[in-house]
Structure 1
Amino acid sequence: MKNKKTEANVDMIISKTFSGLNMNALKYLLPLWMSPLSGVAIRCTFAAVAFWIIACFTKPEKSTLKEKGLLFLLGATGIYGFMFFYLVGLSKTTPVSSSIFTTLQPIWVFIIAVLFFREKITVMKVVGILIGLGGALLCISTQKSDDLASDALTGNMLCLTSSVIYAVYLVLSNRLLKSVGMYTLLKYTFTGAAFSSIIVTLFTGFNAPVLSFPLHWFPFLVLLFVLIFPTVISYLLIPVGLKYLSTTVVAIYGYLILIVATIASLAIGQDRFSWAQMSAILMICAGVYFVEIAEKKDNKPSFSEKE
């Protein structure tokens, strides 16, 4: 089990590094080379097809029709909802701001645990939540719209919503992984997400100049990076982390997304340094840290460890 946990931690580092770079790649593509909703449809459909093909070369996994139906619904609402709000939000704000809200996921995981799994509430956890939410409010209230963020307030609120939805997905997928295999999870959740994305696209239209001929090779290569690494490979690695690490530990790797996205954004000019933004980052990191330290000090295991 120790080796499995080490492997899970390495997998999460790779996965979240790709996720951090994913923010910068998507920011480059949105909305000039593809609309946010078309981007969601491309990612979800590509991933669904890829996971079904990959699963053909793996050992068959047993699952019931009910479990497959639940996974489909989880993907149709959870994964699609997360990507929907995330891509639309990212198109209106900066990669650093969007990654700030991603880092809030452990706090949402804990709140869900309190509401639905009777997680123990302590003073340190409450302090951590308040500090983290204070950081989010600081980012939302101080960032102004400019040439890098067309509608910062709306974009930040949408990214905040996406982080809540993804936290719900983390909790539910963690529970379902106890009875279904990793590839079953990926196949059916992304099939559900692809189904939702296709239905929405039928009403909103498909707009992706990046796929038009003659091909513009650099945007197309950026899109391939998004589809192969942050989408397929990253999501292949996440269930490994969910299987051998607690849900909250997996969510804490959101710190790495923040670090990678911040360094890349400042390096390529997708964001500008801001003391208010830096203060928000430090407050959220401190808040998540307090929640995690409090959890480790509890005598009772967290809900994700009891299952």
Structure 2
Amino acid sequence: MPGKIKIHSVLLFVTLIYGANYTVAKFVMPEYLEPFGFIVFRIILGTLLFWIFSAVTGADKIKSRKDFGLLFLCGLFGVAANQLLFFKGLSLTNPINGSVIMTTSPIMVMIVAYALGKEGITVKKIIGVLIGALGAYLLLTKDGVSLSEGTFLGDLLILLNGSSYAVYLVLVKPLMAKYKAITVIKWVFLFGGIIAFPFGISELSAVDWASIPVSIWFCIAYVILAATFLVYLLNVWSLKFVNSSLVGSYIYLQPVFATLVAVAFRDDQLDVFTVLYSMVIMLGVYLVSQK
């Protein structure tokens, strides 16, 4: 087993990559690629990369139909629903809000893990859930509740995305005890791509590829190579050695990196209420993450 420093360094590196992804992906959508079209393009190329990597490094054979069923569910929650909701939500909100809302994911992981009998629950965790939910509610409704104006709908979709990813983190854990990381992730992406394809093929076919400038191609490459290939591979690798709650808890560092990148490269504004409500959410996440 690798040392604690190596595992935590990998998780921090993943958090850095994904924190920047909020701003990088926002440069692409919706001017050059619509959200669902971008997701299908991302999943197709990501799947190809994982299967090529698997062919080079070697992978296990899936041992049972039950495991195929579990891989399908991981593809549904961890790739298709997760990414469709995330990119659509991000196109309707700003990177700072999106990254803060995603910090509720550890709370969702705890709830799902408890519901499936994978992890216990304590009074401190319940208090953490309530505090985190209060912070999320305050941030969601900060600019009013409207499905046509402001960031409410985008923030809500990001929240649902975090819930979907929480289900994935819990479901994928037992598979990591049986198979190599690349074995799991290549099948998860294949099934996720099959599910997501009908939702985004029309948007993908309408893309004017010739009009995309070189700078945006670099952004697309970052999303596919770093925020997809590296992030998913390193996350499932880390799940072989630590529990899903610890992996999920690293997500509350994302707003720090996402905010720095958004303010530096997009001139986004950070208001005092966003900071305050973010601190409420992070307090809830801290309590949930405590043993």
Q: Same fold (TM over 0.5)?
A: yes
RMSD after superposition: 2.0
Q: 1:42-85: per-residue Cα shift (whole Å, max 9, x none)?
A: 11111100000011111332322522343134213431100011
Q: 1:86-114: per-residue Cα shift (whole Å, max 9, x none)?
A: 10000000111111121111111111122
Could you say if the C-alpha distance between residues 119 and 213 of structure 1 is closer, same or farther in structure 2, counting changes exceeding 3 Å? closer
Contact 1:100 1:281 in 2 (8 A): yes
Matches within 5 A, 1:200-279: 200-202=199-201, 206-209=205-208, 212-213=209-210, 215-279=212-276
Q: Residue type of the partner of 2:220? A: L
Structure 2: distance between partners of 1:271 and 1:134: 25
Could you say if the C-alpha distance between residues 207 and 19 of structure 1 is closer, same or farther in structure 2, counting changes exceeding 3 Å? farther
Could you say if the C-alpha distance between residues 237 and 119 of structure 1 is closer, same or farther in structure 2, counting changes exceeding 3 Å? closer
Structure 2: distance between partners of 1:221 and 1:42: 15
Q: Give the 3-state SS of the residue equivalent to 1:248 in structure 2.
A: helix
Matches within 5 A, 1:25-64: 25-64=24-63
- Find the counterpart in structure 2 of residue 134 from structure 1: 134
Matches within 5 A, 1:1-307: 1=1, 3-66=2-65, 67-117=67-117, 119-143=119-143, 151-202=150-201, 206-209=205-208, 212-213=209-210, 215-293=212-290, 296=291
Deviation at 1:205, TM superposition (A): 5.7
Give the TM-score, by structure 2 length. 0.92
Structure 2: unaligned runs, 5 residues or longer: none
Contact 1:21 1:261 in 2 (8 A): yes
Deviation at 1:17, TM superposition (A): 0.8
Could you say if the C-alpha distance between residues 204 and 217 of structure 1 is closer, same or farther in structure 2, counting changes exceeding 3 Å? closer
Deviation at 1:153, TM superposition (A): 0.7
Q: 1:111-161: per-residue Cα shift (whole Å, max 9, x none)?
A: 11222217433221111111111110010111369xxx9641100110000
Structure 2: distance between partners of 1:58 and 1:161: 35
Q: Residue type of the partner of 1:224? A: A
Structure 1: distance between partners of 2:97 and 2:87: 13
Give the TM-score, by structure 1 length. 0.88
Structure 2: distance between partners of 1:150 and 1:195: 32
Query: Which stretch has the larger CA shift, 167-176 or 111-120?
Result: 111-120
Contact 2:37 2:201 in 1 (8 A): no
Q: Give the 3-state SS of the residue equivalent to 1:103 in structure 2.
A: helix
Structure 1: distance between partners of 2:57 and 2:20: 29
Q: Report the identity percentage.
A: 27
Q: Residue type of the partner of 1:243? A: K
Deviation at 1:195, TM superposition (A): 1.2
Query: Which stretch has the larger CA shift, 58-67 or 107-116?
Result: 58-67
Contact 2:39 2:200 in 1 (8 A): no
Query: Which stretch has the larger CA shift, 275-284 or 107-116?
Result: 107-116
Could you say if the C-alpha distance between residues 179 and 278 of structure 1 is closer, same or farther in structure 2, counting changes exceeding 3 Å? same
Could you say if the C-alpha distance between residues 208 and 122 of structure 1 is closer, same or farther in structure 2, counting changes exceeding 3 Å? same
Contact 1:124 1:290 in 2 (8 A): yes
Deviation at 1:203, TM superposition (A): 5.5
Contact 2:23 2:266 in 1 (8 A): no
Structure 1: distance between partners of 2:47 and 2:149: 32
Structure 1: distance between partners of 2:143 and 2:174: 37
